[in-house]
Amino acid sequence: MTSERAQKDEEHVFGSAIDRQEDPRLLTGRGTYIDDIQKPRMVHMAILRSPHAHAQINNIDTNAAEAMEGVLAAYTWDDLEAAGVPGNIPSIYNVPDQQDADHPVLAREKVRYQGKPVAVVIAEDRYIAHDARELIDIDYQPLEAVVDPIEATKTDAPTLHENVEDNVAFTWEVGDSDAVDEAFADADRTVGFESVNQRLVPNAMEPRGAVAEFDAVTEELTVHMGSQNPFDHEEIMSKVLGHPKGRIRIVVPDVGGAFGSKSMYYPGETLTAFCAKQLDRPVKWVETRSGAFKSDEQGRGQVIEGELAVDEDGTIRGLQVKTTAGIGGDLSSKGVVAPTTTFAPLLSQQYEIPAIHFQSRGMFTNAVPTAPYRGVGMAESAFTVERLMALAARELDMDPAEFRQKNFIPSEAFPYETAVGSFYDSGDYEAGLDKALDLVDYEELRERQTALREEGRYLGIGIGCFVVAGGFAPSAASEMLGLTDPDAAVRKSFWESSTIRVHETGEVTAYCGTASHGQGSETTHAQVIADTLGVSVEDVEIIEGKDTKNAPYGTGTVGDRGASMGGGALAKSAEKVIDKARRIAANQLEVAEEDVEFEDGEFFIRGAPGKSVTLQEAADQSYLATNIPEDMEPGLEATSYYDPANMTWASGSYVAIVEVDTQIGKIDIKRFVAIDDCGKQINPKIVEGQVHGGVVQGIGQALYEEAIYDKDGSLLTESLQDYPVPKAAQVPRIDVDSTVTPSPHNPIGAKGIGHSGAVGPQPAIVNAVTDALQPFGIEHLEMPLTVDTVLQALHDAEEGL
């Protein structure tokens, strides 16, 4: 039987780099993604999106489209209204100073970004739907557009939402401005810079889509969709569509990546559901890549000013940061957080900074809405601080590694409360950077850099140290995010739940509220259970919260919570299962419960290991229920709700080594070292994969990617032909290693690792390139570091500009 094998199978436990259990299915084409779902009588929806970034809609004529053979219907806002659909997407996370503004699922009188859904067509096949879409005739009256968030603040800027005349969607601040003023007045020197953390397109491999089915008799609406938060989506869909929550079922099949982009609430899935209700037929919508470029809510897009006050000896005195975010034409359902509550809490990064002040404003702009994208706010935060660290080290003529080492929060100072009120749970930042510097042989590199400069070759070494908040989130955090407000769109907290059922065979079915979309949770969750219960990973089946009517309530896979929150919840249930099984075993062994020990799937009498009861035998007894303690209910199953005491605070120490060919503006990443501390690792191979993927995205932001809009709000990088996602050949070797400081409050000691890879590379690479170009007096370069950016900077340096 399996548990015996598991006892001996050291490989199948917590901390082992076993293969992902889901891969054989996914890699052999046996996964089920949205477009694989077929239903009888299914019809297809195509969305017509606005070609204008800002325009009044005078008239929409759908007659020609509807007259086309094979077309069932075309709908506009008026049809939603006529059907009594509320149709307005709410903001989930909120800050106190925030404006209400329209976010209709189909344009109502106005469009505020290129790509805004204006109408839908439903046809017998998707070709007809796309043909018919071209026949919808819309009379637009174009309006002046504003794309740059700073421009949007000006008094003569066009107004996007009539009720928000100044275009300010929200403002927020945190920290002690008086203390910062004092620190800046008192410090020996200050360094500052302003930079644009450019807009990014999330580009999940699988574009968004949905298949919706409606049962006109029971009024049950089933929506198959890629979702990171199915239960949130169920709740919001109920409100947006005006359909009872109890009669909506969200089912999430395999998901081809998300990076945050499938955690927001969007028009497309709602419209698919609406069409299914109207037509009483299953409706499929799968967005095209071009459509995804203009509808998947984009990342970053902030103009950030940062200033650091330091003393001559390298002591940091204070930090102030102001950000102006261009949040797009509609406020995304999660549009508030990146420029506010995920940005500021990380501002102390790895350093003791006695005074910090942060100010933020979100500006409506005629662009695709912005929302959480891998690294959300934390990438902006780390980039700002780590660039300031490099600039300050240069200003002080200190080695940038030494300057960091001088200011690290010492490992004995944890738990550590930062000047912005974050409680870091644990960390050893010095160890992380030391490991990274050792790996690259830092001292030797600096010598080589000097020698190469003599030959006219420009080597640069850049450091990016950061902290990432994960394990989202203690219920106490809900208040800060506006989730406890009486009229909150989703009134909830982000604890996690799990249920573990041990079958009479010893096999285990475990339910967990996470909703993985590529993370490998089927494997890591199984490892946590296998380790705790002493069973084999193959004998653990994981059912995640990806079906809102047939899975336990959960809060999804976002915010680096899959392993720490899901794993934590599962570990708690596993303990409960063991406790119950121990009583059964004690009963069998005819000893007191206290005298029964559990190890590797077996209960035995302390001091008398010869006589034992396996977990499977206890499970078997629990179902027979003929020989269990009298007061005990049958069955071996436990449910837990895990509400953590704190977030988890992972960290990373990244080093990039680049060589810049100054003749052609080319940056060659010679080596990239990523040292991460995500606490205890359930599966180092999955950790490594997460870091690799994240680092590639970080390199993408540093060197290649930017959603470029022209002044009229047209997206110029509207396909992968123009928007350079890094290809394998453009990615250097990535050396991944780790340090481990377990999270002291998490049941399994785990922290998050999802965001980290996409947070550290940007500062490491920009610091490396500016380090390489120090002989030219180049202090800062804006991302992405394109050929234009580098050649222009060198040209300006030459001209003495």
Binding site for other proteins (CB under 8 A): 126-127, 129-131, 134, 288-290, 663-666, 703-704, 708, 716-717, 719-725, 727, 729-730, 786-788, 791-792, 795
Q: How far is the CB of 716 from other proteins (least distance, A)?
A: 5
By residue count, the chain amounts to 801
If the CB atoms of residues 164 and 790 are measured against other proteins, the closer one turns out to be 790
Q: How far is the CB of 34 from other proteins (least distance, A)?
A: 14
Using DSSP, state whether 543 is helix, strand or coil.
strand
Report whether 220 contacts 168 (CB < 8 A).
no
Report whether 760 contacts 654 (CB < 8 A).
yes
Helix (H) or strand (E) holding 687: helix 684-699
If the CB atoms of residues 74 and 585 are measured against other proteins, the closer one turns out to be 74
Q: How far is the CB of 722 from other proteins (least distance, A)?
A: 6
Give the C-alpha separation, 294 to 717, whole Å.
Answer: 10
Helix (H) or strand (E) holding 540: strand 540-544
If the CB atoms of residues 20 and 199 are measured against other proteins, the closer one turns out to be 199
For residues 523, 525, 527 and 530, what is the CA-based torsion angle, rounded to 10 degrees?
A: -130
Q: b/e per residue, 745-763, with b = 16+ CB within 10 A?
A: bbbbbbbbbbbbbbbbbbb
Q: How far is the CB of 40 from other proteins (least distance, A)?
A: 22
If the CB atoms of residues 712 and 735 are measured against other proteins, the closer one turns out to be 712
If the CB atoms of residues 638 and 781 are measured against other proteins, the closer one turns out to be 781
Q: Amino acid identity of 654?
A: Y
- The residue whose two tokens read 């380790």 is 531
Q: How far is the CB of 155 from other proteins (least distance, A)?
A: 31
DSSP string, 324-369: EEEEESS--TTTTSTTTTTTGGGTTTTB--SEEEEEEEEEE-SSPP
If the CB atoms of residues 147 and 164 are measured against other proteins, the closer one turns out to be 147
Q: How far is the CB of 795 from other proteins (least distance, A)?
A: 8
Please choose, from the candidates 433, 461, 447, 409, the residue with its C-alpha nearest in 3D space to the C-alpha of residue 669.
Answer: 461
Phi/psi of residue 203, each to 5°?
Answer: 50, 55
The residues, any chain, with a CB within 8 Å of residue 734's CB and separated by 6 or more, are 672, 673, 674, 691, 692, 695, 696
If the CB atoms of residues 121 and 565 are measured against other proteins, the closer one turns out to be 121
Q: How far is the CB of 117 from other proteins (least distance, A)?
A: 17
If the CB atoms of residues 82 and 787 are measured against other proteins, the closer one turns out to be 787
Using DSSP, state whether 397 is helix, strand or coil.
coil
Surface-to-core class of residue 109, CB atoms within 10 Å of its CB (0-12 exposed, 13-18 middle, 19+ buried)? exposed
If the CB atoms of residues 711 and 795 are measured against other proteins, the closer one turns out to be 795
Q: How far is the CB of 46 from other proteins (least distance, A)?
A: 8
Q: How far is the CB of 328 from other proteins (least distance, A)?
A: 20
Q: How far is the CB of 126 from other proteins (least distance, A)?
A: 6
If the CB atoms of residues 43 and 515 are measured against other proteins, the closer one turns out to be 43
What value does the CA radius of gyration of the chain take, rounded to a whole number of Å?
28
